[in-house]
Amino acid sequence: MQAEYPNHVWTYDFVFDRTLDGAALKILTLTDEFTRQSLALRVAESFTSREVKDVLQAVIAQRGAPGFIRSDHGSEFIARDLGIWLAVQEIGTQFNRPPAKVILEELGCGCRGHRVA
């Protein structure tokens, strides 16, 4: 499926990095595939499906819901509670390899080398 208009298909994925002292960082990315706009970037040591849902709720409150959301098979994305919530919101899901990392590279969002507070 290819995005045909804004808010048609969103992609979410995780990017991994480390702090200067070696602590692991997990970065949740949320992107509109049609506009290639970054809708959210959240950084934490780990995420639960509930925390992913909270990010989605905040973005949906601002822009409305997408028709579909695409992700890989990460445990946070395939969790039963998140799947039920997406179904209730009438947001379709697609599980495959999302282009989020490619989009981030195209946008020049190289997070490495930048200090994260």
Query: What pLDDT score does 112 carry?
Result: 52
Task: Please count the other Cβ atoms lying within 10 Å of the Cβ belonging to residue 69.
Answer: 23
Helix and strand counts by DSSP (H, E) for the chain: 4, 5
pLDDT, one tens digit per residue, over 21-69 is 999 999 999 999 999 999 999 999 998 888 999 999 999 999 999 999 9
- Amino acid identity of residue 45, one-letter, is E
Domain chopping of the chain, boundaries: 9-106
Query: What pLDDT score does 117 carry?
Result: 43
More confident residue, 61 or 14: 61
Q: What is the pTM of this model?
A: 0.76
Query: What pLDDT score does 29 carry?
Result: 93
Pairing of strands 92-95, 38-44: unpaired
Do 38 and 55 touch, CB atoms closer than 8 A?
no
| Class of 9-106 in CATH | alpha beta
28: closest CA among 63, 52, 9, 62? 52
